[in-house]
C-alpha cells in the first residue's frame, strides 16, 4: 500500500510539474510586411542535459480547450515524451493570428494557411537548436491532423524554403494528416517520417497517405494504418459526427471524429518504437548551432 501511494504521489508531482512549464516566445519565419509574427509556445522540459526534443503541432481545433488550457492531447503527449526523456515544445499557430480554430473554415479560404504553419514549424526547430539543454542532432516534428499536414509541408524539400533551410529535423511523425497537397506537389522528405492513419477516416483520407508513402522520393515514409479507426483515433472520446466541418472526404456531409482504444494503444507503441532510435543514440550529424 505504501508503495502504491508513493508511486501515485510521484506521478501526480510529475504531472503537476509538466503542466507548470513556462510559456516562451519566438519569431515565426512568417513576416508579413517585414514584421515577424510572434509565436507563443509551452515548453515542457525533460530532466537531464542534452536531451532530444520535439515540436508539437496542434490540429485545426487549435492548441487550447474551451477553458483556455492546453488541450488534453497536447498535455498528454508532452507528459509522455518527458517521461521518455524528450523535451516537448507545443507551438500555438492560431492565437497570434487572431484565430481559435479553422476546422469550420473551408480549406481554400482558411485564415491560417499551410505556408504559415510550415514557417512556424521551421522557426520552432530553430528555437530548439539554440537551447543548451537540447541535443540539436536529435530534433523532431510531431503533428496531428492539420498539424500533421504541417509536418509534411515542413519536411518536403520540394518547397524551396524547406530545401534551402539550413536546419533539418532528424525525424518526423504525423498522425492522420491531410496528404493530398504534398502528394500532388511530390513528396521528397528531409527526414525519416512515420505516418499513423485511421483507415475509416472520412476527414483526411488514409488512402492519400498510403499513396504519398509509396510515391515519395528518397527515404520512404513508414506508414501504419488502423482498420475501423476514424480521425482522432488516439483520443479517449467517443466517435461523433461533426456536421459543421465543410471539408473532408465527402464535403457537406460532415466528418467522424473519435477515439479507438486499440488504435490508440497500437499507435502509442508504434510511436515509441520509432522514437527509440532517437531517445538514447546520437543520430547522424546534420545540424549545428
Q: Which pLDDT tens digit goes with each residue over 229-261?
A: 999 999 999 999 999 999 999 998 999 999 999
pLDDT band at 20 (very low <50, low <70, confident <90, very high): low
Whether 197 has a pLDDT exceeding 80, the answer reads yes
Q: What is the CATH number of the domain that holds 212?
A: 3.40.50.1820
Q: What pLDDT does 7 receive?
A: 38
Domain presence at residue 13:
no
Mean pLDDT of the region 91-111: 95
In a domain, 216, yes or no: yes
At 135 the pLDDT is: 96
What is the average pLDDT value for the chain, to the nearest integer? Answer: 91
Instruction: Supply the pLDDT for residue 10.
Output: 40
**Dihedral angle sign, alpha carbons of residues 133, 139, 144, 145:** positive
User: How much is the pTM?
Assistant: 0.91
Report the percentage of the chain scoring pLDDT > 70: 90
Residue 258 within any structural domain of the chain:
yes
Could you tell me the residue range of the domain that residue 184 belongs to?
23-103+110-279
Mean pLDDT of all residues in 90-111: 95
Average pLDDT over residues 51-75: 97
Is residue 9 domain-resident?
Answer: no
Backbone φ and ψ for 222, nearest 5 degrees, come out as -85, 140
Mean pLDDT of 264-280: 94
CB 142 within 8 A of CB 116: no
Q: What is the mean pLDDT of residues 262-280?
A: 95
Cα distance between residue 51 and residue 35, in whole Å: 32
Mean pLDDT of 220-224: 98
Residues 6 or more apart in contact with residue 69 via CB below 8 angstroms? none
CB 170, CB 137: distance < 8 Å: yes
Cβ atoms within 10 Å, residue 286: 15
Is position 222 within any domain?
A: yes
Q: Is residue 3 part of a domain?
A: no
Q: Is residue 287 part of a domain?
A: no
In a domain, 6, yes or no: no
| pLDDT at residue 4, rounded to an integer | 40
**Percent of the chain residues topping a pLDDT of 90:** 86
- Burial label, 160 (beta-carbon count in 10 A; 0-12, 13-18, 19+): exposed
Give the count of domains, the chain. 1
Q: Kindly report, residue by residue over 136-187, the tens digit of the pLDDT.
A: 999 999 999 999 999 999 999 999 999 999 999 999 999 999 999 999 999 9
Q: Each residue of 2-16: pLDDT tens digit?
A: 444 433 434 444 444
Amino acid at each position: 500500500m505504501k508503495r502504491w501511494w508513493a508511486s501515485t504521489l510521484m506521478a501526480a508531482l510529475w504531472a503537476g510539474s509538466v503542466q507548470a512549464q513556462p510559456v516562451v516566445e519566438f519569431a515565426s519565419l512568417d513576416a508579413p510586411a517585414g514584421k515577424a509574427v510572434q509565436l507563443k509556445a509551452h515548453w515542457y522540459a525533460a530532466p537531464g542535459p542534452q536531451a532530444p526534443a520535439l515540436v508539437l503541432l496542434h490540429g485545426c481545433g487549435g492548441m487550447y480547450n474551451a477553458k483556455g488550457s492546453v488541450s488534453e492531447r497536447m498535455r498528454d503527449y508532452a507528459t509522455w515524451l518527458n517521461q521518455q526523456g524528450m523535451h516537448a515544445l507545443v507551438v500555438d499557430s492560431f492565437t497570434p493570428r487572431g484565430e481559435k480554430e479553422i476546422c469550420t473554415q473551408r480549406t481554400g479560404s482558411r485564415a491560417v494557411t499551410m505556408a504559415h504553419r510550415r514557417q512556424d514549424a521551421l522557426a520552432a526547430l530553430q528555437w530548439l537548436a539554440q537551447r543548451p539543454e537540447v541535443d540539436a542532432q536529435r530534433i523532431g516534428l510531431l503533428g496531428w491532423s492539420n498539424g500533421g499536414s504541417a509536418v509534411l509541408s515542413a519536411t518536403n524539400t520540394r518547397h524551396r524554403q524547406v530545401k534551402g533551410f539550413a536546419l533539418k529535423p532528424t525525424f518526423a511523425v504525423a498522425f492522420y494528416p491531410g496528404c493530398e497537397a504534398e502528394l500532388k506537389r511530390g513528396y521528397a522528405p528531409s527526414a525519416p517520417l512515420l505516418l499513423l492513419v485511421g483507415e475509416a477516416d472520412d476527414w483526411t483520407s488514409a488512402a492519400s497517405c498510403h499513396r504519398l508513402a509509396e510515391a515519395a522520393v528518397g527515404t520512404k515514409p513508414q506508414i501504419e494504418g488502423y482498420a475501423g479507426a476514424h480521425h482522432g483515433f488516439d483520443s479517449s472520446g467517443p466517435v461523433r459526427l461533426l456536421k459543421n466541418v465543410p471539408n473532408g472526404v465527402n464535403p457537406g456531409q460532415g466528418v467522424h471524429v473519435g477515439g479507438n482504444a486499440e488504435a490508440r494503444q497500437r499507435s502509442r507503441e508504434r510511436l515509441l518504437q520509432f522514437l527509440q532510435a532517437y531517445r538514447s543514440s546520437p543520430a547522424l550529424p546534420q545540424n549545428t548551432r
